[in-house]
Amino acid sequence: MSVTPAPDSVSVTSAVWKLGDFRINGVGSVNGAVVTVHSGSMTGPVLGTASVTLGAWTLRLRNAAAPATKPASIWIESTVGGTAGPITVN
C-alpha cells in the first residue's frame, strides 16, 4: 500500500516590485514547507525560496538579487505539492 499525501494550500497575498526591491508575501497551510517562486511560468527561472512559518512566508530580493525589470507574472510551488499562479506583480 502506498500513501500519497494531499498537496498543501499555498497562495500569494502581495507581490510588489520596484527597482532594486521585490517583495512577495504569501500564506501556506503546512509549516516548514518550502515555497519556490518562479518568474513567468512554473518552469520559468527561479527567483528564490522561502519557508512557511506560522502559516506565512515572505521572499524579499534586494539590490542585485532583485529582477532588473518587473516580472509579468509569478508562479509558486511548495515542497508539499501545492501550486499557485499566474500571479500578477504590482
The Cβ of residue 71 has, within 10 Å, a number of other Cβ atoms equal to: 21
Please tell me the CATH code under which domain 10-88 is placed. 2.60.40
Residues 45-87 pLDDT 10s = 999 999 999 999 999 999 999 999 999 999 999 999 999 999 9
Residue with cell 516548514: 32
- pLDDT recorded at residue 16: 97
Residues 8-34 pLDDT 10s = 999 999 999 999 999 999 999 999 999
CA–CA gap between residue 65 and residue 77 (Å, rounded): 20
The pTM of this model reads: 0.91
- Would you say 74 and 38 are in contact if contact means Cβ atoms under 8 Å apart? yes
Q: Which residue type does 32 have? A: G
Domain ranges of the chain: 10-88
Average pLDDT value for the chain: 95
- pLDDT recorded at residue 37: 98
Annotate 5-40 with b (16+ C-beta within 10 A) or e (fewer): eeebebebeebebeeeebebebebbbeebebbbbbe
